[in-house]
C-alpha cells in the first residue's frame, strides 16, 4: 500500500491506506510520523540489496576447535 492519507474526523485524525481506515489518533503530528515510519518499513522490506536466500538470523553453533574446561561439566547445576 503506497497511498496514505490523514483525514480529520471531529477531534481525531484517521490514517488511511488506499481508502481503508487503519488507525485513529488524537494528534496529527503523531499520525504523520506513523505514516512516515510505516512507509520506511515497507520500503526497507522491498530492498533489493538484501538477498532473499540469506538467513533471517545468524546461526549459532559451537566451535569444534574449542576444548571445554575439564573442571566444568556442561548442563550441570554448577556450570556458570
Higher pLDDT among residues 74 and 33, named by residue: 33
Decide if pLDDT at 78 tops 60.
no
Decide if pLDDT at 15 tops 70.
yes
Position 19 confidence tier, pLDDT thresholds 50, 70, 90 = confident
Look at the chain and count its residues: 80
- Please state the rounded mean pLDDT for residues 36-65: 68
Position 35 confidence tier, pLDDT thresholds 50, 70, 90 = confident
Decide if pLDDT at 44 tops 60.
yes
pLDDT mean across residues, the chain: 74
Amino acid at each position: 500500500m503506497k497511498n496514505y492519507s490523514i483525514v480529520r474526523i471531529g477531534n481525531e485524525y484517521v490514517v488511511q491506506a488506499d481508502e481503508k481506515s487503519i488507525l485513529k489518533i488524537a494528534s496529527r503530528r503523531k499520525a504523520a510520523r506513523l505514516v512516515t515510519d510505516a512507509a520506511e518499513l515497507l520500503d526497507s522490506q522491498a530492498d533489493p540489496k538484501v538477498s532473499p536466500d540469506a538467513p533471517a538470523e545468524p546461526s549459532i553453533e559451537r566451535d569444534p576447535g574449542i576444548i571445554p574446561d575439564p573442571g566444568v561439566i556442561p548442563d550441570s547445576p554448577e556450570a556458570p
